[in-house]
Amino acid sequence: MNNKQSKSLFDKAQHTIPGGVNSPVRAFKSVGGTPLFIKSAQGAYITDEDDNSFIELINSWGPMILGHAHPVITSAVQEAVNNSLSFGAPTAKEIDIAELICEMVPSIEKVRMVNSGTEATMSAIRVARGYTSRNKIIKIEGCYHGHGDSFLIAAGSGAVTMGVPNSPGVTDGTAKDTLLAPYNNVEAIQTLVAENKGEIAALIIEPVPGNMGLVLPKDNYLQKLREICDAEGIVLIFDEVMTGFRLAKGGAQEVFGVTPDMTTLGKIIGGGMPVGAYGGKAEIMNFVAPAGPVYQAGTLSGNPVAMAAGLNMLTYLNEHPEVYTELAAKGEKLAEGIQAVLKELNLPYQVTLLGSMICIFFTENEVDNFADAQTTNTEKFGKFFHQMLENGVYLPPSQYESWFMSLALTDENIQQIIAAVKSSLIAVEG
């Protein structure tokens, strides 16, 4: 594969951008090699500066659920820009999107728009702390909630990929208020709650973690968390930045029938524009300024261009529920194909699937939590990743990420991915 342009751009970028990228996982550090500098993307394909095209399984880390440059989204943006890019004043579209979010995710009675998933989670825990007058939060090991200080403790995604799940710069004072428990372990939560009686404001969790690879809840784990939080007056926050509007219209909470007190959203909600949101019970959200005392603000929050993109995206998903059945069918086809390849090659690796989120763990252990995920052979994953690129498929450049499928993937694309998985595994395993 010719990557001359990407190489020269990456060299150039090092001079003025830390590590040459504006978000760490993009640097290909854990898989080695040069990141691809992207020129354009259309439908299921992405094209780099050397004019290599790949079938896409990153999809901007989730937002591109309809595929790239979908006219429903691009037309909204093109129309909106003609009326100026920002006002810093309320607009009618902000009400439309708020109403639609509340309709699609019924646990959300009131919602505040922000500019990223990070802002959404940082704000949500501040509100939960203000609402409960408590300081501590419980976070699940291997879950990633953006780069807010409270969350950079045993964090997944880029933090674990870069080997800094506990980041320097986070003060001991902040770290001591974040309590940790393994995913899928109810007893660990019960112990933390008993040891910190009356002190825990919130339990924040990715209901289906996609930032330590993809891991699924088992044995009614989410229901049990709901019961504990109810009994202890703890605000249950589902971080659905990845799963929101992806696993179902109403996200993971709809799929598993568990109602959180608060939800954080991002990615799909902006259709590719920088948008996040947090919302929940009106009683809690009424603590947010100016309705209440918990301060949170944003110059560009509710930006008209971003709202136009997000509103069209959510409207489309709301009016086309078949998107989810189609995506699930594509997911199943891909997972089945990969399972068949693993069986044929006699490889013991794990495939996790939920809807259009999928991942292969390079381990023979069942993966139920972060410790299990860390038994994977990341070196093999790195080799596999590069083989997949050679075979025309662009995966997230880390073992600790979910792959995101888009509606633009055709049956033929799925067969191409399965064939690429087979030849890549053969090359890796020798």
**Which residues are identified as catalytic?**
144, 239, 267
Residue closer to ligand PMP by CB (options 94, 119) is: 119
With left for phi above 0 and alpha for psi between -120 and 50, is residue 346 left, alpha or beta?
left
**What is d(CA 10, CA 164) in angstroms, rounded to the nearest whole number?**
22
Q: Which residue has the tokens 């023979």?
A: 364
Q: How far is the CB of 415 from ligand PMP (least distance, A)?
A: 29
Q: What's the DSSP call for residue 136?
A: E
195: helix, strand or coil: helix
Q: Are 268 and 262 in contact (CB under 8 A)?
A: no
Residue range at the interface with ligand PMP (CB under 6 A); choices 90-98, 143-151, 295-303, 377-385? 143-151
CB burial of residue 421 (10 Å; 0-12, 13-18, 19+):
buried
Binding flag, residue 400, ligand PMP (CB under 6 A): no
Binding flag, residue 303, ligand PMP (CB under 6 A): no
Residue 327 to residues 210, 229, 297, 323, 411: CA-CA distances in angstroms? 17, 33, 36, 6, 11
Binding flag, residue 61, ligand PMP (CB under 6 A): yes
Q: How far is the CB of 25 from ligand PMP (least distance, A)?
A: 9
Residue range at the interface with ligand PMP (CB under 6 A); choices 45-53, 236-244, 301-309, 366-374? 236-244
Q: How far is the CB of 51 from ligand PMP (least distance, A)?
A: 29
Estimate to the nearest angstrom the gap between the alpha carbon of 346 and the chain centroid: 31
Instruction: Pick the closest to residue 420 from 382, 378, 392 (CA basis).
Output: 392
**36, 113, 137, 241: which one contacts ligand PMP (CB under 6 A)?**
241
Residue closer to ligand PMP by CB (options 161, 211) is: 211
**What is d(CA 334, CA 337) in angstroms, rounded to the nearest whole number?**
5
Q: Are strands 110-114 and 276-280 parallel, antiparallel or unpaired?
A: antiparallel
Provide the token pair at 249: 């219209």
Residue closer to ligand PMP by CB (options 121, 253) is: 121
Query: Which residue in the shown chain puts its C-beta closest to ligand PMP?
Result: 117
**What is d(CA 47, CA 1) in angstroms, rounded to the nearest whole number?**
13
Residue closer to ligand PMP by CB (options 266, 304) is: 266
Residue range at the interface with ligand PMP (CB under 6 A); choices 43-51, 102-110, 170-178, 234-242? 234-242
> Phi and psi at residue 407, in whole multiples of 5°?
-65, -20
Q: Which residues from 31-50 bind ligand PMP, rule CB under 6 A?
A: none
Q: How far is the CB of 379 from ligand PMP (least distance, A)?
A: 24
Q: How far is the CB of 230 from ligand PMP (least distance, A)?
A: 23
For the chain, give the number of residues.
Answer: 430
Q: Are 39 and 49 in contact (CB under 8 A)?
A: yes
Binding flag, residue 398, ligand PMP (CB under 6 A): no
Residue range at the interface with ligand PMP (CB under 6 A); choices 2-10, 140-148, 190-198, 374-382? 140-148
Provide the token pair at 251: 């996200």
Provide the token pair at 189: 């939560």
**What is d(CA 219, CA 328) in angstroms, rounded to the nearest whole number?**
22
Q: Binding pattern to ligand PMP, positions 194-233, x when CB under 6 A?
A: ------------x----x----------------------
Q: Are strands 262-265 and 235-239 parallel, antiparallel or unpaired?
A: parallel
**What is d(CA 359, CA 353) in angstroms, rounded to the nearest whole number?**
7
Q: How far is the CB of 206 from ligand PMP (least distance, A)?
A: 5
Q: Binding pattern to ligand PMP, positions 253-282, x when CB under 6 A?
A: -------------x---------x------
**10, 131, 144, 256: which one contacts ligand PMP (CB under 6 A)?**
144
Q: Which residues from 62-121 bind ligand PMP, rule CB under 6 A?
A: 116-118, 121
Query: Site size for ligand PMP, by CB under 6 A?
Result: 16
Query: Which residues sit at the interface with ligand PMP, rule CB under 6 A?
Result: 61, 116-118, 121, 144-146, 157, 206, 211, 239, 241-242, 266, 276
